Amino acid sequence: MTNNIPNLGPLGTVTTSYSGVELVIQDNAYDHACMRAAQLAALLSVVADVKSDFNNSSKTIQSDVLWLASTLADEVQQLLPIVLKETGRDAAAHRHYIERATHDASRQP
């Protein structure tokens, strides 16, 4: 009995702010979403800690930091439905293996 999970294809895609660039999520959507959420939280924490310095930064730097925060937030928002799909697929795969193992065990002499 093999326990290979059949290739079910990508879970989904995340559209980036660059035209024509998409991230194809095959697996580990939850980990990726957690990473991006942590990065966003860290970025906003740093900006809050140095608020006066940030406000005195050039308009280009302010714009780029806000663009980064917006991009991270957009990516997390797009990842959440993919995480739900991944969770459902993992649960379905687990049920499949339990059913198969039960069926195979019942056929043993």
Tens place of pLDDT per residue across the chain (109 aa): 333 445 567 888 888 777 778 888 888 889 999 999 999 999 999 999 998 899 999 999 999 999 999 999 999 999 999 998 888 877 777 777 777 777 666 665 5
Instruction: Supply the pTM of this predicted model.
Output: 0.70
**Dihedral angle, C-alpha 76, 80, 35, 70, nearest 10 °:** 0
**Could you tell me the residue ranges of all domains in the chain?**
29-106
Rounded to an integer, what distance in angstroms lies between the CA atom of residue 28 and that of residue 100? 25
Q: Where are the beta strands (DSSP E) in 1-109?
A: 12-15, 22-25
